[in-house]
Amino acid sequence: MYAVVDNGGKQYRVEPGRTLVIDRLDAEAGATVTFDRVLLVGDEDGVTVGTPTVSGASVRGTVLEHGRGPKIIVFRFRPKAHYRRRTGHRSELTRVRIDEIATAEAAAKPASKAAAPRKAAAPRKTAAPRKTAAHRKAAAKTAAKAAPKVAAPSKTAAPRRAAAPRRTKSETE
C-alpha cells in the first residue's frame, strides 16, 4: 500500500516502513505525527484519488531526528560591473519513518480476502482503427465531388496609369 501526502506545499509518495525527509516539523524526536492531507491511496485493489483529498485517510509516522540539509550557495554576478554577492542557506529538515497508512475503507473491509467478493472487471474499450493515407485521399475526393461548385470571382485588374516621364538633370535645374 502507498499514498501521496501533501506537506509544506510539496507532495511525497510514502509507504509503511520507509523514511521521509521533509521540512522541519514542530515535534520532538520520537513523537508521532499524522498527515491528514492524503491526496491518493493505492493498494492491490486499485487507486483512490481524492478530490482534493481522500476522505477518512491519514498517514501516521514517527519523528526520527531533526537536522540540516546541505549548504546551498547562491552567487550573483554581473559582468563588467564588479558586482559579486555570495549568499546561501541550509534548510532545516525532519526525518520521519512512516508507520501506517489508514483509510476509511480499510476499517470497513473484511479481515480475510477470501470472504470479500471481487468486482468483475469492466470490458475495455478499444480505439477505432486508424485510417491510412489512401483512405484519407479517397474521402477528400468524394467530398470534393459532392461539394457544390461556386463560380470564382473574376479577376479584372484596374487599368494602370502611365508612369510620369523621368526628368533629366538639366531639366531640374
Q: Is residue 15 part of a domain?
A: yes
Q: Is pLDDT of 20 > 60?
A: yes
The Cα 37–Cα 4 span in angstroms is 9
Cα dihedral: 107, 108, 109, 115 (round 10): 130
48 CB-contact burial (10 Å; exposed 0-12 / middle 13-18 / buried 19+): middle
In a domain, residue 33? The reply is yes
Domain that holds residue 46: 2-65+94-108
pLDDT at 132: 77
Give 29-66 pLDDT, tens digit per residue: 999 999 999 999 998 889 989 888 999 999 999 999 99
Task: Give domain status of residue 9, yes or no.
Answer: yes
Percentage of residues in the chain with pLDDT exceeding 70? 76
Question: Quick check: is 162 in a domain?
Answer: no
Residue 166 located in a structural domain:
no
Structural domain includes residue 151: no
**Mean pLDDT (the chain, rounded):** 83
Collapsing DSSP states into helix, strand and coil, what is residue 171?
helix
Cite the beta strand spans of 15-149 per DSSP E: 19-23, 32-35, 38-43, 46-49, 58-68, 72-78, 83-89, 92-102
Q: How far is CA 160 from CA 14, 111, 112, in A?
A: 80, 95, 94
CA distance 21 to 126: 43
Reported as a single tens digit per residue, the pLDDT across 96-130 is 999 999 988 765 555 444 445 556 666 766 766 77
Structure-block grid coordinates of residue 39: 491526496
Decide if 156 is inside a domain: no
The residue among 51 and 139 whose pLDDT is bigger is 51
Share of the chain above pLDDT 90, in %: 54
Give domain status of residue 54, yes or no: yes
Looking at the structure of the chain, the number of domains it has is: 1
Question: Using CA atoms, how far apart are residues 164 and 62, in angstroms rounded to an integer?
Answer: 94
For the record, the C-alpha cell of 154 comes out as 473574376
